[in-house]
Amino acid sequence: MTTSEQGPAIMRGPSFDPGAPDGAFYLQPAGLLSGSLAAHARRKGTAEWLAGGPLAFTGCTVIRRRGTERSETLFGLADLRHWAADAGLAAALEDRLRRLSRPRAAVAGLRVDRPIIMGIINVTPDSFSDGGDFAEAGAAIAQGVALLEAGADILDIGGESTRPGAAPVGVEAEIGRVVPVVRALAARGAVISIDTRRAAVMTAAVEAGARLINDITALTGDPESLAVAARSGVAVVLMHMQGDPQTMQQDPRYVDAPLDLYDHFVERIAACEAAGLASDRLVLDPGIGFGKTVEHNFQIMERLALFHDLGCPILLGVSRKSFIGRVSRGEEAKRRFPGSIAAGLAGLSQGVQILRVHDVAETFQARAVWERLATCGQTPDQPAPA
C-alpha cells in the first residue's frame, strides 16, 4: 500500500509513522530544473545542483517503507530542512543533500559533467539486436572505429550474449572474441569498457587496454571478480539483474522495483568498499530489461533520480530494448531507434550521466540539442556547488 502527500506536514501511513526519526528514508530529488531557470534558482538559494549539474532540484520526496507499505512526502528544500530538524535528522539530511549535489568523479578519465555516450560492440553471433553483425574481430574493430568517428566517448565490448534465454559462453572463447578487439581499439586511443561477468575475462581485457569493467552481475557472478576488479584500478559498472540471462524474464518480482534496486546498490557499494574498491570508481546501472517486466522498467525509469542519492554516476542502457516495441507496434530491435532516443533523453532529464547505445551518431545529435537546452543561460563556471 502506498500513501502520498505534499509537505510540509508529515504524512502518516496506514500502520506506521513515516515521520518517525529512525534515520531510514529514501530521498528522491524533485522539481528538476535546467538551463537559466536552474541557474536562477541556485542563485536565489531555492535549488541545489543535481550531481554537479546542469540540472538542479528544488525539493525532494522523502520515501519510507516497511514491508509492502510505503509512504511518500514531497517537500520543497526549506520545508525539507524543517522536517529533518523536527525529526532529529538535520545532520543526516545535510549529508544526503551534499551527496546529491556534489559533482561526480570522472569515469575512466572522462568527466561526467556532460552526458557520455557509450557505443556497443557485440563480438557475438547471438546478441538480441546485432548478433552476428560483428562476430569476427575485423568487423568488430571496424565498427569500433566507425562508432568513434560517430561520436562515441567509450566503446563497450562484449563477447557473450546476455539476452533473455542466452546460453553461457566458455571463458576461453569469450577471451578469444574480445581481447583482439580491445587491444586494437585501445591502441587507437579509445576508452574501452569490457562487458563481462567473468574475472578471467576482466583480467585479460584490462591487460589489453580496457579502462572500465561493465558487469551485469555487479561483481557477484564470479567468486574472483570482486577482488580482480578492486586490484585492476579501473572503473566498474555495477548493473542490477534479477536472476541470470537464462531465467531472468520468466517471472521477475519485486516488492517495489526502484526501492529494491536502491537497496541492492547499497549492499553492492558496501561490498566493493570492503574489498578495497572505492565508491568513486563505481558507476550504477539499473539494468533495464534484466529481470524486469515492462511495468518494472517504467517504474524504474520514472524514478531514476532516486539513485543519485547513492553518490555515483548513473549509466542507462535502453537502446533497442524489447519494452520499446511492447509499448509501441512490436517493432523488431533494429527499428526501435526512435524509442531508444526518447527513453535516453528521459534519462538525461533525470541527470543520468552515461547512455549505452547502438546508434551513436543519432544519439550524438540528440545529446547536442539536449545539452544546449539544459545549459542555456548558465555561465561557464556553472554548474558547481557553492
pLDDT in tens, 317-345: 999 999 999 999 999 999 999 999 999 99
Q: What is the mean pLDDT of the chain?
A: 91
Q: Closest Cα to residue 124, out of 159, 89, 73, 96? A: 159
Q: What is the pLDDT of residue 127?
A: 60
Give the mean pLDDT of 156-167.
84
Q: Is 194 a residue whose pLDDT tops 80?
A: yes
Confidence bin at 64 (pLDDT 50/70/90):
very high
Question: 54: cis peptide before it, omega within 30°?
Answer: yes
Confidence bin at 19 (pLDDT 50/70/90):
very low
98-112, 146-160, 237-251: least confidently modelled range = 237-251
86 contact partners, CB below 8 Å, separation of at least 6: 10
**Residues known to be catalytic:** 321, 356
Q: Closest Cα to residue 158, out of 187, 119, 184, 188? A: 119
Exposure class string for 84-108: b at 16+ Cβ within 10 A, else e: beebebeebbeebbeebbeebbebb
Percent of the chain with pLDDT over 70: 91
Cα distance between residue 60 and residue 283, in whole Å: 23
Which residues make beta-bridge pairs with 373? none
Q: Are strands 315-316 and 282-285 parallel, antiparallel or unpaired?
A: unpaired
Q: What is the pLDDT of residue 5?
A: 53
Q: Is 250 a residue whose pLDDT tops 90?
A: no
Give the mean pLDDT of 94-108.
97
Give the mean pLDDT of 359-365.
98
Confidence bin at 244 (pLDDT 50/70/90):
confident
Q: Is the pTM of this model over 0.75?
A: yes
Confidence bin at 199 (pLDDT 50/70/90):
very high
Percent of the chain with pLDDT over 90: 82
Q: Closest Cα to residue 115, out of 190, 27, 52, 209? A: 52
Q: What is the pLDDT of residue 197?
A: 97
47 contact partners, CB below 8 Å, separation of at least 6: 31, 33, 38, 41, 56, 57, 58, 77
Q: Are strands 192-195 and 212-215 parallel, antiparallel or unpaired?
A: parallel
Confidence bin at 164 (pLDDT 50/70/90):
confident
Question: What Cα–Cα distance (Å) separates residue 159 from each residue in 125, 129, 182, 204, 286?
Answer: 9, 14, 11, 13, 21
**Helix or strand holding residue 27 (H, E):** strand 26-33
Which residues make beta-bridge pairs with 195? 158, 214
